[in-house]
A = this chain, B = another copy of it.
Amino acid sequence: MTIEAAACSELKEIAGYSFDEYRELVRQFHGSEAPGLLIGGFMVALALQSLDEGGFYDAISETRTCLPDAIQLLTPCTIGNGWLKIVPFGRYALTLYDKTVPSHPGVRVHVDAGKLKAWPEIYAWFFKLKAKGQEGQENLGEQIRQAGTSILGITRISVNDQFTKKVHKGKIGVCEQCGEAYPAEDGQVCLACQGNTAVYL
C-alpha cells in the first residue's frame, strides 16, 4: 500500500553538497556529467530528506542507467556491499527503505513525466527527442539545477519480506573443471563451467 507523501519541497542542496560540488563528484566517478545522474542527485536527496535520520537504509534502483551511481555517491549503499540492488524495470525511480524495521518502510522517488513539460530541455532529453550530442548540454544542466526536486514524485512504501531476505552463499567448493572457488550449491561444477562461460568469453 502506498501513501502519497507531502508535495516535494524546494530542495536546492544535494545531500550536503552544493549542486556544483555534486556535479564535480559525478564527473570524477561517472566520467561525465550525465543529466540522469544530476537528476538522480536530487532524487536521492529528496528521499533522504523524507526519511528519519539514523535509520539503516538499503536502496533499490529500477534502472541500470546512471541512477545507481547517484545512490552509490550519496548513500552508504553500493553494488559491492549489497545494500544497493537493481530491479531492472526500466523506470527512472529509486527506493530507500529501513532494513532494521520489520515492515521495511521507506520512500520511492520517481521522475514525474507530467511535470517535465515545464522544462523543454529536460523533457526532450528524457524522452530522447533529440539526437545524442544535440542536447544543448549547458541549458539542460541549468534546467536540471533550476527544476531541482519539482519534477519528482514521492510515495511512502513498504518493501516486501521476500525481497529483503539476505541470501547466503553457503559452502565454498573448488570447481573440478576450472579449479576456481565457487558456491558449492551451484552444482558439481561452477556456473561458468556448466556452459555459461560463452556469455562473454
Residues in chain A within 8 A of chain B (CB atoms): 2, 29-32, 34, 37, 60, 62, 64-70, 72, 76, 78-83, 86-93, 95, 108, 110-111, 113-114, 126-128, 157-160, 163, 169, 171-172, 174-175, 178-183, 186, 190-192, 196-201
CB <8 Å contact, B160 and A191: no
CB <8 Å contact, A190 and B91: yes
Cα(A31)–Cα(B113), bound, Å: 35
CB <8 Å contact, B93 and A80: no
Cα(A169)–Cα(B88), bound, Å: 12
A16 CB → nearest B CB, Å: 14
Q: Give the 4 A-B CB pairs with smallest separation, nearest first.
A: A69-B80, A163-B200, A89-B192, A68-B80
CB <8 Å contact, B128 and A171: yes
Instruction: List 25 contacting pairs A-B, 8 Å CB cutoff, sorted by A.
Output: A29-B78, A30-B80, A30-B81, A65-B80, A69-B78, A69-B80, A89-B196, A90-B190, A91-B180, A91-B181, A91-B182, A91-B190, A91-B192, A95-B200, A111-B181, A113-B180, A113-B181, A114-B179, A127-B172, A127-B181, A158-B201, A159-B200, A159-B201, A160-B198, A160-B201
Cα(A88)–Cα(B78), bound, Å: 16
Cα(A178)–Cα(B126), bound, Å: 17
CB <8 Å contact, B181 and A126: yes
